[in-house]
Amino acid sequence: MDNLNLIETFSEFKDFKNIDRETMMRIIEDVFRSMLEKRFGSSDNIDIIVNIDKGDLEIYRLREIVEDDQVEDPNTQIAYSDAIKIEPDFELGEEVSEEIRMSEFGRRDILAIKNNLETKVRDYEKNSIYNKYKDRIGEIVTGEVHQINAREILVFDDEGMELILPKSEQIPNDHYRKDDTIRAVVLKVDIKGNAPMVILSRTASVFLERLFELEVPEVYDGLITIQNIVRVPGERAKIAVESYDDRIDPVGACVGMKGSRIHGIVRELRNENIDVINYTSNISLYIQRALSPAKITSIVLDEKNKRAEVYMKPDQVSLAIGKGGFNIKLAGKLTGYEIDVYRDTDIDAEDVDLDEFNDEIEQWIIDAIKAAGFDTAKSVLNQEFDELVKLTDLEEETISDVIKILKAEFE
């Protein structure tokens, strides 16, 4: 087998594998040097020149010319009588450069070289994929759909590396065709059969978080903090946001003018309904916001068992539960409370908005009570006294006076 044909054979690996020219040349050189070391004992005096573009591979061995009876190492020394056969003008002490031709390699050697090359290329690919993605878990990557089957989608990244999007990590409404562009987050890097597998996800909460970072500069810059995200992929998501800068409206910034920022995220998630709410450490108010768009009448909390009894008018119950029960399910996950919804059984007596009592209760007190999540008289009366004091941070005497005024309204 001549030089050109051998290099053409090796070049097949370059065409089908994600290896750059310089790396391929180094791998070929390493493979030949390893074989030559086995053959001659050392390759320190051997030059290997690889030119993939021209299909050239040249190997030269350098040996010192010594007297015929002084050859101690045939690999590094050559007898004078043999040297002058190569070039009559050679003298003692000079170096002879001889080309080692492919014809000197047997069929078994050539097969061993090819097998060794395959192994090194495979190992290089494994290391390349692992090294590229081991520190990118949680990052969004963009790739091209290469193959689709029932269990997964095979995706090629911009360097031709293979990534896997399992069916379980696809949004139910996802529909892709070959060569489509796809965005997903790196979920994990698994090792299967000694080979790394980069697993992508479009259903993980972190995917939604990264999309917000891309679309909302304030989130990316850390001016708005995402406290929690819960999702039913393709159906509904709730995201709690907070800003430590009073000048920034976190919900407004995430939604954008006329929904301009969130619309792109919704489209990417196949029209997933996204509720953005203001985070608060006030559990009662947090639950109230999490159940939006439903309006609640009152909440009874059991902090020890992480349960909440939520009372609301009958026409609000379906809104609280939501289509498929997703709204209340996600509200529970977001707040960490098991939420039970009850129809308000005391709706015969007409409720009164707290603002109607501003002639008897100072407005700043009303505002403090409303900030704790209680908008109506009955929502206050249905709450435990100690809980009202804790949630509103008002004096006990103040709360007592408020309750007395509100009770008088219904007597």
The pair phi, psi for residue 54, each rounded to 5°, is -95, -5
Q: Is residue 332 part of a domain?
A: no
In a domain, 264, yes or no: no
Task: Give kind and range of the element (H or E) at residue 143.
Answer: strand 140-148
Residue 37 maps to a domain? yes
Task: Give the model's pLDDT for residue 52.
Answer: 64
* Chain-centre distance for alpha carbon 259: 25
Q: For residue 154, what pLDDT is reported?
A: 96
| 22 and 126 fall within a common domain | yes
Size of the chain, expressed as the number of residues it contains:
411
Task: Note down pLDDT in tens along the chain; length 411 residues.
Answer: 444 455 555 555 545 456 666 777 787 888 888 888 888 888 888 888 877 666 677 888 888 888 888 888 888 888 888 888 888 888 888 888 888 877 777 778 777 777 777 777 777 777 778 888 888 999 999 999 999 999 999 999 988 888 999 999 999 999 999 999 999 999 999 877 777 889 999 999 999 999 999 999 999 999 999 999 999 999 999 999 999 888 999 999 999 998 999 999 999 999 999 999 999 999 999 999 999 889 888 888 998 999 999 998 888 888 899 888 999 999 999 999 999 998 876 444 567 888 888 888 999 999 888 888 788 888 888 888 888 888 888 999 999 999 999 888 877
Residues 46 and 118 in one domain: yes
Tell me the C-alpha distance between 307 and 193, whole Å.
46
SS (H, E, C) 381-407: HCCCHHHHHHHHCCCHHHHHHHHHHHH
Alpha-carbon distance of 140 to 153, in angstroms, equals 16
Q: Which string of b and e fits 25-49 if b means at least 16 CB within 10 Å?
A: bebbbebbeebbeeebeebebbebe
Domain boundary among 89, 108, 131: 131
Taking each continuous run of H as one helix and of E as one strand, the counts in the chain are: 15, 15
Residue 177 lies in a domain: yes
In angstroms and rounded to an integer, the radius of gyration of the C-alpha atoms of the chain is 37
Same-domain pairing of 56 and 123: yes
Shared domain for 91 and 151, answered yes or no, is no
Using DSSP's 3-state secondary structure scheme, residue 159 falls into: coil
Whether 282 and 373 have beta carbons less than 8 Å apart is answered as: yes
pLDDT value of residue 181: 95
Query: Which CATH number characterizes residue 148's domain?
Result: 2.40.50.140
CA 184, 190, 196, 200: dihedral to nearest 10 degrees? -10
Q: What domain range includes position 371? A: 354-410
Read off the CATH number of the domain in which 102 is found. 3.30.1480.10
Task: Fill in the DSSP letter of residue 255.
Answer: H
Last residue of a domain, one of 131, 150, 171: 131
Are 16 and 113 in the same domain?
Answer: yes
